[in-house]
């Protein structure tokens, strides 16, 4: 079964410097019908104007993944990490027992557009940790590239949960398929462009909950599409 989460039905937060769309309940947006999906708790699509961002704030017991679609995002945290992530970079921060960090648009002239993803860890009280890796465009073109997993295989970042994150870029007519085991569910998030998911049209910002399916087929219906696929324990 495929259940579409339309982009226009997401929660909205606009503070002038930040335009954010919430796939699941977050901040002042609360919808008991959309509290998350399996271990996936947050997918926020954020656009931040130049030289602005999120000041230092704290997190605890959450796996936080950032993925930049365009622009540059500067990160600093209480573990001593400081970096600028760009398109193709996957950043993972395990908040564990507690961490403080800030996120700012690193550019004084261009906006930054990124996805912030929260996944609930499989245990509380982990030691905070940080990791980032770069995946060139050719590694994701026309094929699902594993970028996050519990065991860090295939050069993926480590997620402290039975969860796998794949990213794929599709040109029009390109197809990518994924097999789901009986005890697995999936969430598909369209980051750019448009695709057909088992013949259902999805556009940028749309999401889809996938249950009781053994295989999904994603076909590009626009020239440049980018999709995130979460394979999760049910």
Q: Rounded mean pLDDT of 120-135? A: 97
Q: Rounded mean pLDDT of 139-159? A: 97
Q: CATH number of the domain that 129 lies in?
A: 2.60.120.10
Q: What is the pLDDT of residue 115?
A: 98
Q: Rounded mean pLDDT of 130-140? A: 96
SS (H, E, C) 110-134: CCEEEEEEEECCCCCCCCCEEEEEE
**CB-based contacts of 167: which residues, under 8 Å, 6+ apart?**
67, 90, 135, 140, 144, 145, 147, 226, 227, 228, 229
Q: How many domains does the chain have?
A: 1
Token couple for 61: 């017991």
**CB-based contacts of 199: which residues, under 8 Å, 6+ apart?**
none
Q: What is the pLDDT of residue 199?
A: 84
pLDDT-above-70 percentage for the chain: 100
- Domain span at residue 216 reads 2-233
Reported as a single tens digit per residue, the pLDDT across 66-113 is 999 999 999 999 999 999 999 999 999 999 999 999 999 999 999 999
Reported as a single tens digit per residue, the pLDDT across 192-205 is 999 999 889 999 99
pTM: 0.96
């Amino acid at each position: 079964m495929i259940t579409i989460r339309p982009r226009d039905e997401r929660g909205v937060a606009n503070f002038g410097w930040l335009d954010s769309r919430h796939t699941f309940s977050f901040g002042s947006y609360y919808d008991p019908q959309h509290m998350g999906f399996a271990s996936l708790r947050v997918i926020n699509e954020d656009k931040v104007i130049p030289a602005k961002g999120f000041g230092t704030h704290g997190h605890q017991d959450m796996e936080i993944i950032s993925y930049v679609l365009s622009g540059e995002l500067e990160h600093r945290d209480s573990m001593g990490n400081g970096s600028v992530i760009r398109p193709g970079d996957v950043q993972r921060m395990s908040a564990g027992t507690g961490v403080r960090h800030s996120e700012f648009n690193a550019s004084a002239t261009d906006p930054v557009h990124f996805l912030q993803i929260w996944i609930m860890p499989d245990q509380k009280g982990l030691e905070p940790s940080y990791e980032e890796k770069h995946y060139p465009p050719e590694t994701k073109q026309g094929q699902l590239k594993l970028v996050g997993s519990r065991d860090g295989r295939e050069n993926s970042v480590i997620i402290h949960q039975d969860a796998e994150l794949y990213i794929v870029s599709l040109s029009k007519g390109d197809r990518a398929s994924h097999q789901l085991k009986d005890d697995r569910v999936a969430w598909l998030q369209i980051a750019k462009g448009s695709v057909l998911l088992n013949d259902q049209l999805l556009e940028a910002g749309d999401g889809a909950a996938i249950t009781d399916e053994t295989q999904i087929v994603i076909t590009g219906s626009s020239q440049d599409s980018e999709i995130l696929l979460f394979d999760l324990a049910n």
